[in-house]
Structure 1
Amino acid sequence: MEGLGGSSTETPISKKFHEFSRIYQYYLDKTTPHAIPRWVGTGILALIYASRVYFVEGFYVITYALGIYILNLLIGFLSPLVDPEVEVSDGPVLPTKGSDEFKPFIRRLPEFKFWHSITKAFCIAFVMTFFSVFDVPVFWPILLCYWIVLFVLTMKRQIGHMIKHRYVPFNVGKQKYGGKKSGAPTSGSRAD
């Protein structure tokens, strides 16, 4: 019977690719708990990309496409997994009234995937700046103005959605609850 034996139909290229993807996933998994160093690394990568575009004085279309892609990722990062206006879910949803039970905010795009996608996008855009075919001549101030207008309109709509459904996608400003605190006086002190 064919297929039951130990012979493998994998080519040497597919074996190397599989080995590379396993190593890549291993190191990716090791970075998961280290959010601040990950974002610092991505910030440094963004500065390297920005300085490359600045000194080469080109590749503005790539930068514009990168900005649109990051804006799209940001919308997913700020949006709840289940939009109460569109979908009905059996799982946790956002409370719509003050009397509703608290449900935790679950993002449509988790932070790790958000970071990973942005980092890959910067790497791809950086590599593209070494190929002159991607250096399309454009008047960059128009692209910048259009991106700013798009960003403002998109964020206005997203912030309106957050206000309407009363959710905050960040931990900043949220009430924190501590453990049980003993209110009883210690044995050496008496309140007379």
Structure 2
Amino acid sequence: MLPDSLPALQGGWQQRRGDTLLVARPADSAATGPAPDDPAAPPRPSLDTALAAPALAAIPPAAGAEAAALALAAWVHTHVAGRTGAHTRRPAQVLAARQGTAQEQVELLVALLRAADLPARRVWGLVRAGGRWELRPWAEAWTGTWRPLDPTLAPGDPVARLRLATGGEARFLDLALRAGRLRLTALQETP
């Protein structure tokens, strides 16, 4: 039974129908209107313009929201090395050091998307990797719908994911406990 108290299960590329969650591969989209209000979205973090310039320069001229978001995700993937350890750095520190944990890379991508005037948020959910499901964060950018972006994966990597929550870490333990009780069955998979 999918809990009613997880509103993030519904919307964008993911639709809830009773106890079934329909997940579609995100399609290219043109922005059709403003992003819905996201009360979980924190204020835009301050990034030094000179520090963010190389990442923002990766956006092709006259790029739409989708192309800009994908370009920034690819830039973070290519230019920010992964590291293990506790999540302790702010986006500006990760950008300056050019290394960060998966969570820090996601927060950096969200900050860069917002610096490029693209609505963005951090989300938590389940990602299938190596044949098993893992609880982890990724970014979403508004491109007419919420578009998932994971800077820790190579652009174009096919990924199965289920969004469980938007926002910060406060609910992480609750999510981990809920995720541990979920039973997932793929009804149909398409490449």
Alignment TM-score > 0.5, same fold: no
Query: TM-score band (shorter)?
Result: under 0.3
More strand by share: 2
Name the larger-Rg structure.
1
TM-score (norm 2): 0.21
TM-score by length of 1: 0.20
Counting helix residues as a fraction of each chain, which structure ranks higher? 1
